[in-house]
Amino acid sequence: MNKLETPEVLKDKPVGILDSGVGGLSILEEIRRQLPHEDILYFADSGNCPYGVRPPSEIRDLAESAAIFLLERGAKALVIACNTASTAAVAYLRQKWPGLPIVGMVPAVKPAALMTSTGTIGVLATEATGKAPVLLDVIDRFASDVNVRIAAPPGLVEAVEAGQADSPATAAILKEAVEPMLEQGADALVLGCTHFPFLRPALEKIVQGRMHLIDSGEAVARQTVRVLQAGDLLNLQARQGHLTCFTSGDPELSREVIAKLLKIPDPATLDLTYVAAERSFSRAE
């Protein structure tokens, strides 16, 4: 974001959303619902997915490079639509660009803790988020009097990326992770990764109404509205905002999966550009 640009000029610029892959589309959908006139740039770093198995320093570097990519294309604000990247990189990115509106996210532990009637909740997370001090801090602040069961099974992010959210193999992973929580009395499950809302149909078959499924999509969208309003950056155009997608993964697979998740009938109509991972994620000097 150019410091010399006025809010009137910036209003017409797009919002940038980045994620380790297609999971952030669950956030994008909610942002488009609440901000239908905003143009959006969405970067799916599927070529480097999953982030959750990487060390924090590497995740930070990937998030920074993705942010630079979006800012070079005119983004007026950034949404880090990834719990793992938010945990590792949001504080660093805000320090690097202090005048740039940046929205991050944390797992929705607080609403789950307020909602539980049994005193036990579950958190379904990636490996990195499950071990992150930020998650432990959120639990300590908002769920200190609640029994919190954390599961970080491998393979779920990859399943969503491959368009296999509804496969028997994915259902088996979910069942193994969630059934012990149900046995321990958990009545709320925090979906601690933006890929996981796309697993709702499979999860609902397992929990059968015994658990509330909670994600951060609506809260992140509300915060995005707030930061744009605070900066006088809301796009006031009358037309529907345009979505432009970029991927560092397989472009044909990404096109099919993104169209499927966004319920776009014809994948060919999706505005999607492939960006080679070695170009977009080389460290900026």
Q: Which token pair is 256?
A: 């099919």
Burial class (CB in 10 A: 0-12, 13-18, 19+), 99: exposed
User: How far apart (Å, rounded) are the C-alpha atoms in residues 211 and 228?
Assistant: 34
Residues 95, 161 contacting (CB under 8 angstroms): no
C-alpha distances in Å from residue 222, one per residue of 34, 131, 160: 8, 27, 25
Tokens of 151: 């599961």
Catalytic, 193? Answer yes
CA–CA dist 60, 48 (Å, integer): 13
Spell out the residues 6+ positions from residue 4 whose beta carbon is closer than 8 angstroms to its own. Answer: none
Q: Which residues contact 241 (CB under 8 A, 6 or more apart)?
A: 32, 35, 36, 37, 38, 39, 40, 235
Instruction: List the catalytic residue out of 139, 193, 199, 213.
Output: 193
Residue 146 near residue 174, CB atoms below 8 Å: no
Query: Are 267 and 65 a contacting pair, CB within 8 Å?
Result: no
Q: Is 49 among the catalytic positions?
A: no
- Of 82, 157, 165, 213, the catalytic one is 82
Active-site amino acid positions: 82, 193
